[in-house]
Amino acid sequence: MIPVKAVVLAAGLGTRLRPISDRMPKCLAPIAGRPLLQYWLDLLGDAAVRDLLINVHTFPGLLDGFVARQSGGGCRRVIQAYEPRLLGSAGTIMAHPRYADDTELILIIYADNLSDIDIAALLQYHRSHDDPVTMVLFRASDPRASGIAVLDGDRRIVEFTEKPANPKSDLANAGVYVVDAEAYREIAGMKAFDLGFDVLPRFVGRMRGWLWSGYHRDVGTREAYEQAQLDAERLLAARCVQPGERQPGVFLDRDGTLIEQVHYLGDPGYVRVLPGVCRALNRFRKAGYRCVAVTNQSAIGRGLITVDQFNAVNEAMYRQLAAEGAVLDGLYHCPDVPESADPTVVETPERKPGPGMLFRAAHELQLDISRSWVIGDMISDALAGYNAGCAGAVLLTRDGPPEEPDAGLSEAKLPETSVFTATDISAAAETIVTPTEAPSVARYAPIEAPNTPAGARTVSS
């Protein structure tokens, strides 16, 4: 499946949101402690959408900073389109006519709304019919203030009127669309300004409506914005996120943990996501964790693979994950070449067991290190979590326990970080998401996976 891309329309002036919009672009207005745009990035992440084009008009520098932090080391690819002159919703598409050339589907989203829309379900619906556009609808309390659609029995939109004086339904345009690449190019060629007024009426009869009955609110006015602060607490609670608190992360080693171990992997053809990984990532996500890969890649430093090859491998992994509805929030790598063969020695801050990549990810993605975990198949992975001050680490021991389980763990610092072993990632997820009381001196507390082969050895402390 070719990855879906998104156009996020975020350039509105936000004049009704003053004085907040005097200090920042409206899309960064904080709602329950996080920028409005963050909610959209989370929803897009849920549907494994990694390619975004975001337009901006006021305070482009502030959006720069936000986007740079949210890219997760390049895991998310964001194009920022600065519009010194407002182009209009259709004008932004006209300005990027080639954006759909390498995809089949484009999501177009007005970032002015706070929503909990299920984007994966929306994409599934769009794929189930053969019209080129799907418009998300919600039931409006005041249809005269919205774009109103009338549907036939097949949910095809047979009438669409922007702000009708005499509305024929209460099914309002939610400002979220899925369009086929061909329809995107058609819109770009219309040389229009506004989607609602100029473009959508031309798709009447070849566009379906998809009703979202969850939460959806325009936060364009001060009153709506204040209400959204309260509503957002419920939306965040559903994601296991506390308002105003940083989320914890799960830092995952890549080779041997997310994908099959292949020495000096530079060929995307050899990428195999390991069993249970997608399910585990989704479990973490639902439990309020962000999932970040951290990978030592001395093969780059040694000149054995190029950064382009490394990126191609990651891309293959992202695609396999996305095919099963899973996604990473970030991926950080370290090309440093070690001098010693001892995996417990911190040689450079970034190379595991150094904590540098974890710190960088935590800084950029605003993670709470003290509640974060590490999962990896090497002692250096567990130690990186230990050195970063994570809550815990799980060492995967598919081939039995490590030879020297205590190597590198200083007695003096225990038990700030509990290190467990697990035979696979599903068992690791079980430990992290449903923690039992941490054993007081526990290191390498064995965790029996449901599918532990008979006779598998585990080390007890």
Residue 179 or 384 having the CB closest to Mg ion: 384
Specify whether the CB–CB gap between 373 and 393 falls below 8 A. Answer: yes
What is the spatial distance between Cα 201 and Cα 203, in angstroms, rounded to a whole number?
5
Identity of the amino acid at 434: T
Shortest approach of Mg ion to residue 297 CB, angstroms?
Answer: 11
Question: How far is 332 from 291, CA to CA, in rounded Å?
Answer: 11
Interacting residue with Mg ion among 116, 218, 253, 364 (CB under 5 A): 253
Nearer to Mg ion, 377 or 430 (CB): 377
Using an 8 Å Cβ cutoff, are 380 and 353 in contact?
A: yes
Q: Please say if 255 is a catalytic residue.
A: yes
Round to whole Å and give the CA distance between 265 and 267: 6
Binding part of the chain for Mg ion, among 3-11, 55-63, 116-124, 255-263 by CB under 5 A, reads 255-263
Q: Which of residues 370-389 bind Mg ion (CB under 5 A)?
A: 377
CB-based closest residue to Mg ion: 256
Q: Out of 30, 60, 243, 256, name the contact with Mg ion by CB under 5 A.
A: 256
Q: Which position among 46, 51, 253, 377 bears the catalytic label?
A: 253
Stretch that binds Mg ion, among 47-55, 250-258, 308-316, 317-325 (CB under 5 A): 250-258
Number of other CB atoms surrounding residue 403 within 10 Å? 8
- Nearer Cβ to Mg ion, position 4 or 396? 396
5 three-class SS: strand
Selected from 255, 329, 424, 430, the binder of Mg ion by CB under 5 A is: 255
For residue 424, state whether it binds Mg ion (rule: CB under 5 A).
no
Output the six-digit token pair for 164: 């009708």
- Helix, strand, coil shares of the chain, percent, nearest 5, are 35, 25, 45
Q: Is the peptide bond before 243 cis (omega within 30 degrees of 0)?
A: no
Which of 44, 86, 127, 90 minimizes the C-alpha distance to 203?
A: 90
Size of the site for Mg ion (CB under 5 A): 4
- Nearer to Mg ion (CB atom), residue 51 or residue 255: 255
Binding flags for Mg ion, 324-363, as an x/- string (CB under 5 A): ----------------------------------------
Give exposure, 169-191, as e/b (b: 16+ Cβ within 10 Å): bebbbbbbbbbbbebbbbbbeee
Whether residue 175 contacts residue 109, with contact meaning beta carbons closer than 8 Å, is answered with: yes
* Least distance in angstroms from the C-beta of 385 to Mg ion: 13
Reply yes or no on whether 112 is catalytic: no
Q: Are 90 and 193 in contact (CB under 8 A)?
A: yes
Cβ distance to Mg ion smaller for residue 50 or 254:
254
> Residue 109 pairs with which residues in a beta bridge?
8, 176
Residue where the block lists tokens 């619906």: 125
How many other CB atoms sit within 10 Å of the CB of residue 83?
A: 16
Task: Tell me the residue type at 261.
Answer: Q
For residue 378, the minimal CB distance to Mg ion (Å) is 5
Question: Running DSSP on this structure, what letter comes out for residue 257?
Answer: T
CB of 77 to Mg ion, least distance (A): 25
Of the residues 116, 218, 255, 377, only one is catalytic, namely: 255
Stretches 230-238, 249-257, 361-369, 427-435: which one binds Mg ion (CB under 5 A)? 249-257
Stretch that binds Mg ion, among 97-105, 165-173, 223-231, 245-253 (CB under 5 A): 245-253
- Closest distance between Mg ion and the C-beta of residue 259, in Å? 9
Please report how close the Cβ of residue 442 comes to Mg ion at its closest, in angstroms: 23
Instruction: Between 400 and 435, name the residue whose CB sits nearer to Mg ion.
Output: 400
By C-beta, is 256 or 408 nearer to Mg ion? 256
| Residues catalogued as catalytic | 253, 255
Binding site for Mg ion (CB under 5 A): 253, 255-256, 377
